[in-house]
Amino acid sequence: MKIPSQLIPRAYDISKKVYESELTLSDGTFQLIGKGMNKSSARDYIYDFRYLMQGKKFTRTLNTDSMEYFFANLLKDYGRTQLAKPLSALIQHIEYYEGQQKHKTTMHQMRAIHKKYSEQVSTPILIANLDQLTQNIGTIENYLTEGSDEERLEASLLIKRGTCFVAYKVGEELRFAPSRFLGYESNKLFKHLTTDIDGRETNKVINAILKSKPLSDDTIEKKYLEYCIGIGIKPQLKGGAYAITRKYWLLNLEHDFLRNIAETGEFPEGKIVERTHKTRERNSKVIELAKRNFKKLHGKLFCQVCKFDFHHTYGNVGKDFIEGHHTIAVSEMPPDYKTKPEEIAMLCANCHRMAHKKRPWLTMDQLTKLLKK
């Protein structure tokens, strides 16, 4: 789509604001229409920006000047490490467009833009020692437990689709991290282009560091499946048309990561499940909405089980204080699950701990009956 060159910066700025939720789609569209763009083109620019940021294929093309401006400013605004997804989206668009029989053309200028900015993405460097491997294990744990929705989903997919894992033991707990992520120095999600990552190379360096090769093991495989289920991942199963054989290295870590040490250990499924659950319970927007709904219904906040009222007991210092308990276990939620306010129960600290005590979790009615005995 061709628009006046002076409109391109405005189209970028508004598309970015819509993506970052500073403007609604309708408001952004309205502003671009006010600058002389038709509605269809305005929506295309806004949607294409979103697809670039998400690494998804888009079918409506921008003109070359617009695409060059978008990539130059994506680099400036988000940095080199965030270009992998836009580059992935662009190459998907190019391949889609060139594959359409009616076009029968090669997008030379778009390919030149892709090549230019691909050179800006950092080249993957393989790890060289156990400390770097351990650092990446901690990073993938952080994504799984405290990452954004997008990061948590991407990390979960790595674990779901992986074939080679480091099975690392911390105390009595066995956790799993995929070799494709672990094998690159100071790795981050979306840091490298997918085409630059080679699992064969990462396996070689991990072999050298751990002085062993990954092996299939039915006992460890069972633990892997339990680990996946505990954090809400449905693993690919062995057998069938797309049979896979997972392999594992074993690694004993003497010390847990600092972010895990702070957890109470009240979850028998392990610290990763505990951190994931508590992170979701700290989702302030959902918790605050649940509290407002509860207060609107009951006139005040109190524990749904024991009826303890912090405001009544502690005065103003306890006003509007209560803990929010997610009534759905992490194992029952896919990584991209969106918590609903009605799934949050209002509990005091004691009742909250008791709710986590048993498997399956005690319902509010069950806790109340126990309290009355």
Task: Report in angstroms the alpha-carbon separations of 345 from 113, 269, 292, 313, 350.
Answer: 51, 22, 12, 20, 13
pLDDT digit of tens for each residue in the chain (373 aa)?
A: 568 888 999 999 999 999 999 999 999 999 999 998 999 999 999 999 999 999 889 999 899 999 999 999 999 998 877 888 899 899 889 988 888 756 567 789 999 999 898 877 766 788 999 999 999 999 999 998 888 877 888 899 899 988 999 999 998 899 999 998 999 888 888 665 454 556 788 999 999 999 999 999 999 999 999 999 888 888 877 644 455 789 999 999 999 998 888 776 677 777 888 887 777 776 668 888 999 999 999 999 999 999 999 999 999 999 999 999 888 877 777 766 778 889 899 999 999 988 888 777 788 888 888 887 6
Strand partners, 173: 170
pLDDT of residue 238: 60
Q: In the chain, what are the domain boundaries?
A: 5-118, 130-261, 283-372
Distance linking the first and last C-alpha atoms of the chain: 71
pLDDT of residue 309: 94
What's residue 220's pLDDT? 96
**Which amino acid does the sequence have at 89?**
A
In sequence order, which residues have a C-beta less than 8 Å from that of residue 340 and are 6 or more positions away? 286
Nearest one of 199, 196, 170, 163 to 182, comparing CA atoms? 199
H-only helix segments in the chain: 8-19, 25-34, 39-54, 64-78, 84-99, 108-118, 130-146, 149-161, 179-182, 199-210, 218-230, 258-261, 271-281, 284-298, 310-314, 349-355, 364-372
DSSP per position, 268-310: TT-HHHHHHHHHHHT-HHHHHHHHHHHHHHHSS---TTT---H
Determine the Cα–Cα distance for residues 165 and 203; give it in Å rounded to an integer. Answer: 9
